[in-house]
């Protein structure tokens, strides 16, 4: 009897809700339809780098219980272990890319499904080219900034979390006649802030793609007050810059910098011009956790099934994507060329303007 094909699956980069639903769909499709074996690689590419290899054989029984419903990834992940510049205990960086491809071949994999964001896709594509690995990508990220897909797994759950926060901030803002600033994640894009701000009833939404002025924010809050409302909500994406164009970051160990602090900057800059108190909420990693929304589970399932079908058809170096109410696949080479940003004149930005939300100064 011919040996069953062996499929690997791993999660890479920052976690989000819905990753387990992708792993489940990959496992069910591969084992039930194609009778393949499936190996879940632990902690991203790190599991293939480790000796002994760090993996878990997946089957139907893996998903008994609440795995589908749980946030995070039961395989583990990392957004720090780039195999081309792997951080060693002595503080140096080492190229360990060869260990990953050796691990892939040692495990006898026929293909590897990588659930990741654009950064992970860039890394695994390079690994695949160098180490003769067959890769199919599945996009996930709360930032929703992966090119060619309308939705990445995890985005809608994160939007729901932000909206839930706004639903809680609005009544306390009203009770105290305050201005509430909510700082969201999203890295260099404003998908999370803009979608959440519209759904959560913000008066001001600031995103990295559209410049703003402090005077514009003040004018909007004053007009809200003139309309007779004594409180207001401002949503700001972490990647927004100061009015002068400076990034607001927090230094981490090892020279790493991370976004954070734009909410406090706005509060300090607006305080003297406002006759209301201002409070800042930084949602942080709450946005990455939580029970995946039904929408994320559906998208995750569709992605997982399609990714396995691509492997069955021998189509590699591609990423599954959500487009026009269905799943398509696109070349990874085009995906990794850049990030998907908000179109300042696109439908979502225009919706915000149409509602009278201040999202920055009008480009016209």
Q: From the CB of 287, what's the least distance to ligand F6P, in Å?
A: 7
With residue 127 as reference, give the H or E element that holds it.
Answer: helix 118-131
Taking the least distance from each CB to ligand F6P, the nearer of 310 and 335 is 335
Question: Which residue in the set 37, 143, 203, 329 belongs to the binding site for ligand F6P (CB under 6 A)?
Answer: 143
* Position 249 contacts ligand F6P (CB under 6 A): no
Among 14, 47, 116, 290, binds ligand F6P (CB under 6 A): 14
Binding part of the chain for ligand F6P, among 25-33, 135-143, 331-339, 349-357 by CB under 6 A, reads 135-143
The verdict on 11 binding ligand F6P (CB under 6 A) reads no
Stretch that binds ligand F6P, among 83-91, 138-146, 205-213, 270-278 (CB under 6 A): 138-146
| CA separation for the pair 195, 192 (Å, rounded) | 6
19-27, 83-91, 93-101, 140-148 -> range binding ligand F6P (CB under 6 A): 140-148
CB of 238 to ligand F6P, least distance (A): 6
- Taking the CB of residue 199, how many other CB atoms lie within 10 A of it? 14
Comparing CA positions, the residue from 71, 72, 78, 155 lying closest to residue 120 is: 78
Q: Is 79 exposed, middle or buried (0-12, 13-18, 19+ CB in 10 A)?
A: middle
- Residue 155 interacts with ligand F6P (CB under 6 A): yes or no: no
Three-state secondary structure call for residue 116: strand
CB of 259 to ligand F6P, least distance (A): 5
Our finding on whether 156 is near ligand F6P (CB under 6 A) is no
Interaction of residue 342 with ligand F6P, rule CB under 6 A: no
The crossing angle, in degrees rounded to 10, of helices 294-312 and 155-176 is: 160
Structure token digits, residue 132: 């003769």
CA angle 182, 186, 189 (to 5 degrees): 115
Active site annotation includes 362: no
| CA separation for the pair 100, 358 (Å, rounded) | 48
Where in 184-203 is the site for ligand F6P (CB under 6 A)?
185-187
Whether omega before 54 lies within 30 degrees of 0, making that bond cis, reads: no
- Per rule CB under 6 A, is residue 18 in the interface with ligand F6P? no
Q: Which of 142, 236, 332, 359 binds ligand F6P (CB under 6 A)?
A: 142
Query: How is the beta sheet containing 179-184 ordered, strand by strand?
Result: 204-206, 232-237, 179-184, 278-282
> Can residue 288 be called a binding residue for ligand F6P (CB under 6 A)?
yes
Locus of tokens 């009897």: 1
- The one catalytic residue among 15, 99, 143, 145: 143
Q: Does 79 bind ligand F6P (CB under 6 A)?
A: yes
Asked if 82 touches ligand F6P (CB under 6 A), the answer is: no
Interface region with ligand F6P, contact rule CB under 6 A, candidates 52-60, 66-74, 141-149, 332-340 = 141-149
Q: What 3 state SS string does 236-301 have?
A: EECCCECCCCCECEEECHHHCEEECCHHHHHHHHHHHHCCCCEEEEECHHHHHCCCCCHHHHHHHH
Q: Interface with ligand F6P by CB under 6 A: which residues?
A: 14, 79, 117, 141-143, 185-187, 238, 258-259, 288
- List active site positions: 143
């Amino acid at each position: 009897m011919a040996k069953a094909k062996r499929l690997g699956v791993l999660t890479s980069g920052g976690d989000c809700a819905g990753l387990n639903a992708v792993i489940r769909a990959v496992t069910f499709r591969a084992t039930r339809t194609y009778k393949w074996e499936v190996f879940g690689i632990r902690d991203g590419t790190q599991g293939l780098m480790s000796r002994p290899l760090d993996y878990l054989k997946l089957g139907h029984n893996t998903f008994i219980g609440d795995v589908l419903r749980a946030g995070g990834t039961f395989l583990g992940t990392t957004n720090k272990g780039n195999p081309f510049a792997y951080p060693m205990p002595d503080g140096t960086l080492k190229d360990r890319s060869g260990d990953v491809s050796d691990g892939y071949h040692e495990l006898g994999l026929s293909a590897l499904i990588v659930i990741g964001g654009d950064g992970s896709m860039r890394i695994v594509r390079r690994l695949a080219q160098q180490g003769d690995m067959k890769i199919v990508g599945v996009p996930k990220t709360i930032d929703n900034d992966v090119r060619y897909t309308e939705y990445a797994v995890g985005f809608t759950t994160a939007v729901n979390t932000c909206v839930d926060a706004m639903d809680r901030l609005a009544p306390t803002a009203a009770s105290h006649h305050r201005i509430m600033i909510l700082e969201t994640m999203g890295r260099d894009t404003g998908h999370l802030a803009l979608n959440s701000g519209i759904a959560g009833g913000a008066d001001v939404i600031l995103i990295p793609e559209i410049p703003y002025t402090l005077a514009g924010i003040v004018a909007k809050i004053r007009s809200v007050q003139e309309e007779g409302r004594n409180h207001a909500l401002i949503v700001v994406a972490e990647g927004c810059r100061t009015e002068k164009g400076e990034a607001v970051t927090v230094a981490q160990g090892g020279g790493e910098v991370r976004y954070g602090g734009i909410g406090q900057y706005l509060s300090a800059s607006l305080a003297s011009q406002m006759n209301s108190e201002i409070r800042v909420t930084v949602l942080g990693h709450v946005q990455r956790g939580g029970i995946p929304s039904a929408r994320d589970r559906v998208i995750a399932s569709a992605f997982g099934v399609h990714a396995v079908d691509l492997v069955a058809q021998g189509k590699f170096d591609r990423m599954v994507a959500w487009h026009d109410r269905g799943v398509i696949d696109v070349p990874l080479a085009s995906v990794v060329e850049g990030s998907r940003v908000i179109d300042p004149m696109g439908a979502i930005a225009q919706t915000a303007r149409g509602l009278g939300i201040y999202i920055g100064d009008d480009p016209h």
